[in-house]
Amino acid sequence: MNTKIILIVDDEETTRQGLKKTLEGWSAGRFEILSAADGHEALELFKRTRVNLLITDICMPEMTGLALLKNIRNQGYKPAVMIVSGYPDFEYAQEAIRLGVLNYLVKPLRKESLIKAIEEALDTEEHMIRADYLEKVADQGLLELEAKKEYVNSSVKQAIAYVNKNIPEQISLKEVADAVHLNASYFSAMFKERTSITFSEYLTRKRLQLAKKLLITTDLPIDEVARQAGYQTAKYFIKLFKDSEGVTPSKYRKLTELDETPI
């Protein structure tokens, strides 16, 4: 995975350089620490690089920390954000919370509190990234299918629940039909009529959706991802995944780690 970047924005040079030195010592090369003297300089850095954590002063000339945050949000940037201020201000804090700021620290900063807040912010940012990916790769058709209210208490709803409960296992159409007390041929035709896809297609898409989630959110080996997604052999799973997504599961995982959209 690319080195995470922390950006410090503060118009007070002594504070800015002090923070940078502190974080470089704590980071020991794990993160890249950048700094900017004002909001305009910070915006230019956002255009050139992916910032994972923004630590900004709130009171700066020309562009306040909150104005900077509004700017980057409007431009689609989604870093984790911490605000530092020379004094507590309830209205500033309220606005900061509304804009999604994770922490509001008051100067002078204690090193222990600062480091703890940064570690928590970076952890939150990692979860935000994964949530974004999961939303990006979600099978919207499946989500809409499963959310249809007309399936409530129907055989289709029961079948979907059965699949969700037993997805790591080998599931056959007849097994599901038996579980919802229907003839297999009738169940197959009824499922296609109600959902516009075959049961086999639904099951495959469901398994692949789970596999993508596991690839993004865990470090499980590919054969274990295959097993949890209901495939007996990793070889078959890899072939099916590549046919569907255009890349192997390993390549897919690597692309998400590099913050690239899978092919």
Domain edges within the chain: 4-136, 139-257
Confidence class for position 263, pLDDT limits 50, 70, 90: very low
Residue 209: per-residue pLDDT: 96
Does the pLDDT value for residue 175 go beyond 70? yes
Pick from 141, 106, 105: nearest CA to 121:
105
Residue 43: per-residue pLDDT: 97
| Segment 196-219 mean pLDDT | 95
Q: CA-CA distance, 85 to 26, in Å (whole number)?
A: 22
Pick from 199, 204, 201, 181: nearest CA to 189:
199
Q: CA-CA distance, 254 to 215, in Å (whole number)?
A: 9
Phi and psi for 153 in degrees, rounded to 5?
A: 60, 15
Pick from 230, 222, 219, 218: nearest CA to 247:
222
Residue 32: per-residue pLDDT: 97
Residue with tokens 């989630």: 213
The CATH number of the structural domain formed by 4-136 is 3.40.50.2300
Does the pLDDT value for residue 109 go beyond 90? no
Cβ proximity of 49 and 82 under 8 Å:
no
Q: CA-CA distance, 248 to 70, in Å (whole number)?
A: 39
12-33 residue pLDDT tens: 999 999 999 999 999 999 999 9
Q: Which two tokens stand for residue 12?
A: 């007070």
Angle between helices 234-245 and 199-217 (to 10 degrees): 100
Confidence class for position 164, pLDDT limits 50, 70, 90: very high
233-260 residue pLDDT tens: 999 999 999 999 999 999 999 887 755 5
Please, how many CA atoms are within 13 Å of residue 165, restricted to the half-sphere of its CB?
8
Q: Which two tokens stand for residue 62?
A: 């020309």
Residue 258: per-residue pLDDT: 56
Cβ proximity of 113 and 95 under 8 Å:
no
* Edge-to-edge strand list for the sheet holding 80-85: 31-36, 4-9, 53-57, 80-85, 103-106
Q: Which residues are CB-contacts of 235 (< 8 A; sequence separation ≥ 6)?
A: none
26-83 residue pLDDT tens: 999 999 999 999 999 999 999 999 999 999 999 999 899 999 999 999 999 999 999 9
Answering whether pTM is above 0.95, one says no
Q: Report the alpha-carbon angle 103-105-107, nearest 5.
A: 165
Assign a CATH topology to domain 139-257. Arc Repressor Mutant, subunit A (1.10.10)
Residue type, 186: Y
Angle between helices 65-74 and 39-48 (to 10 degrees): 30
